[in-house]
Amino acid sequence: MSDALLKIENLTRYFDVSKPWLNRMLEREEKQFLTAVADVSFEIKRGETFALVGESGSGKSTIAKMVVGLIGASEGTITFDGHNMTGTAGAEMRDLRRRFQMIFQDPFASLNPRWRVGDIIAEPIHTFGLLKGAQVTNRVGELLDTVGLSAKDAEKFPHEFSGGQRQRIAIARALSSKPEFIVCDEPTSALDVSVQAQILNLMKDLQDEMGLTYLFISHDLSVVRHMANRIGVLYLGSLVEVADGKKLFSEPQHPYTRMLLDAVPDLALSGRRRKPVEGEIPNPINPPSGCAFHPRCPLVMPRCKVDPPHRVETPTGYAACFALEKQPA
């Protein structure tokens, strides 16, 4: 498809979690690897918000870090606007870097406490050599204005701001290089609920104004429902279902997605009984055989314990589950 801005194919990441060499030799143990992300493929179209949801340890943040190049991929490719990011370096990579940015989870850690807000926001401008001298100050003032702060705030230090204001500063920094694509790694999970909505609405407004594309990582389904055009559900490093935003909530396909949705607190007090999520996410060093979800799955079949399921089309998108495959006639 030509309008795919980001294309991820068979992305896999192992982490070496072995003990040090000497311990391994003495205790006669093999090297151990943790599979954080296993064979994940998806596309993000220009101008849409693609959300990744999943429990802690499902590999959401690892994917985000691989997309922006903070960590390398073990296998698979990431293609940004036709450029393969794993094989790019030098000036071409620099140009690509200008076009994507990241917003982090914790606004108390993502701003250098010793820098003035103006310098923090201007860092991408200086790094990419976009503007010079007084133009930088003007641009920083504009950006602060865009995110709902005052141009005078450029003189202050991060500790003079609240969590929500700091996240606005982080957004201003992400916007300063005029990117097309922003990876948002749980941008509201460290904020108060009342502030979350403001930040999310700001992000939506910016998307409409500037035609931004978001990869939105979250574990909060209500936030995802508000933001996303399409949603991918991760379980133990594998993408189990991808569906259009609202339809994921109305017509969940994969048994894991259904389990997640059943666990969401019901604020409307409709009297629906909430089913808690059963079981724990398994240890990714020793994942279950076949489908990683089979120990917790209510629809488990003998086949699930042997073969990993393949992707099948569903009415709302696609999912990886044998129970959803059409029975052979």
Binding site for another protein (CB under 8 A): 65, 68-70, 93-94, 97-98, 101-102, 104-106, 109-114, 123-124, 127-128, 170, 173, 177
Q: Which is nearer to another protein, 38 or 68 (CB)?
A: 68
What would the two tokens of residue 180 be? 């097309």
3-state secondary structure of 191: coil
**Shortest separation between residue 185's beta carbon and another protein, angstroms:** 9
Q: Which CB atom, from 187 or from 284, has the smaller least distance to another protein? A: 187
Length of the chain: 329
CB of 46 to another protein, least distance (A): 21
Structure tokens at 225: 């429902």
d(CA 175, CA 212): 10
Q: Give min distance, CB of 142 to another protein, in A.
A: 19
**Least distance in Å: CB of 150 to another protein?**
19
Which runs of consecutive H residues, i.e. helices, occur in the chain? 21-27, 60-67, 90-99, 117-127, 134-146, 163-175, 193-210, 221-227, 245-250, 255-262
Given the complex with another protein, which of 105 and 238 has the nearer CB atom? 105
CB of 95 to another protein, least distance (A): 10
Helix (H, G, I), strand (E, B) or coil at 266: coil
Name 225's Cβ contacts closer than 8 Å, sequence gap at least 6: 245, 246, 249
Q: Which is nearer to another protein, 179 or 290 (CB)?
A: 179
Please name which of 286, 231, 235, 184 lies closest in space to residue 39, comparing C-alpha atoms: 235
Of the candidates 218, 211, 219, 233, the one whose C-alpha atom is nearest the C-alpha of residue 316 is 233
Of the pair 159, 326, the CB lying nearest another protein is at 159
**Among residues 25 and 306, whose Cβ is nearest to another protein?**
25
- Among residues 183 and 243, whose Cβ is nearest to another protein? 183
- Which residue number, 22 or 268, has a Cβ lying nearer to another protein? 22
* Minimum distance of another protein from residue 173's CB (angstroms): 7
- Cα 195 from Cα 326, distance rounded (Å): 45
Token duo for residue 315: 């009415």
In the chain, the N- to C-terminal Cα span, in Å, equals: 33
Name the minimum Å distance from CB 257 to another protein. Answer: 30
CB of 127 to another protein, least distance (A): 5
